[in-house]
Structure 1
Amino acid sequence: MYNPQGRLDRDGLIRQYVPLVQRLAHHMIAKLPANVELDDLIQAGMIGLADALSRYEASQGVQFETFATQRIRGAMLDELRDGDWLSRGSRKSQKEIEKALHKLEHQLGRSPAESEIASELNMPLAEYQSLLSRVRGTQLVYLEDIGAGHGEDDDGFLDRHVADTEADPLSVLKDQRLRQALVAAIEGLPERERYIMGMYYEQDMNLKEIAAVLGITESRVCQLHSQSIARLRAKMRSH
């Protein structure tokens, strides 16, 4: 899009891609705690869009929308990380759940039941299920992100979105192996959790829609989704 002077019409392009920013923000906010403001994500996304306009070169062989999506999402994730959007308590709880899952997987040779996970954490089942609801904020996860971080306080799965888009061949190969391992991990989930992951990520259904399909409450879907992500992250620690 160019202006009458033959220069790139930045204002026109920004107006054209505002709906993309809004769509990405709405999709992301659905996975975040209630304290995160949609307007904050949109504002950060607009900064990402402006950055994309300044950096984009058609000679790279990538469509602008694809390039812009990466920059917009990266700017939103930067905003979340800089804003300390997830409490230390929630991070700690998520780590404890993953640690319990990893231990039980090895002991039992299968995916542990909720009651077994609760027992390992030394808490009643109802308390464990409530904890799953509270750690939902850790579930800002797109399938390609799982397994990216391994440190105790590592936010590597966020950093992947803001990394340089030019990957070396070794990184590409590693990413392919990670994806293959992730597919295998998803297939190993308990049946109902596998259905939830498919509906949520592949069919882009929201929690309310999934609840209606499965005949359970929306809060229960949220719990099972959190548990599924914890299972996957526990499995992917070695990749």
Structure 2
Amino acid sequence: MNCPKCHSSKFVKNGHTHYGKQRFRCQHCGRQFVNNPSRQPISQDKRDLIDKLLKERLALAAIARVAEVSERWLQDYVNQKYYLTPKEAKITEKKRGRLILEIDEMWSFVGSKRNKVWIWLAIDSLTHKLSVFKKRDRDRAAARKLWDSLPPVYRQCATCYTDFWEAYQGILPTKRHQAVGKETGQTNHIERFNNTLRQRVGRLVRKSLSFSKKFQNHLGAIWDFIHYYKASLQH
């Protein structure tokens, strides 16, 4: 018997597991292990499969069944993954010229529908690349933070198309802001991306049992898909 991590043969007994099996501790690297474990470590291939399934509209219980892992292990894995997911996106600086932004906000919730959370989005309609992604309340202060987070070239040059939500009034430049309806087609790209989010992220489905109980996981799941979406556009 050797240590499964460093393969050292120097180890000592170190108590028992919850199931009564003898546990050992490696004197070289400190790894704790048992002889002939009934549960094998989750392979990297299975972790890669889980990462792909997390970007589909599936509940964690469904992913656990498909990947054949325990729900407890999967929840711990997801918690750590979403905690480490970057909560911002790098915005490529653009030269002055014809710039068009489509801005919208999308409703979601955490824990219960009484705890509303709004997702604020701005997308460059010419390149179809997501420019800004923010998560705030649905008020004028949130619209101001979204606008201030844009690169200066967008704030100075871009024509902005939004819906008729009053929070945009007084925040976006009057001469370059146009409030339009969906029938005009001027907000098609942002509306389509909103639909993509709801189709691919189960936590955003309006009537869903896959909703988040923790704000950190709710935010992490959305950002995880955002990074995947931006990478797919580059390819």
Tell me the TM-score range normalised by the shorter chain: under 0.3
Q: Which is greater in Rg?
A: 2
Query: If the length of structure 1 is used for normalisation, what is the TM-score?
Result: 0.26
Structure 1 or 2: more strand by fraction: 2
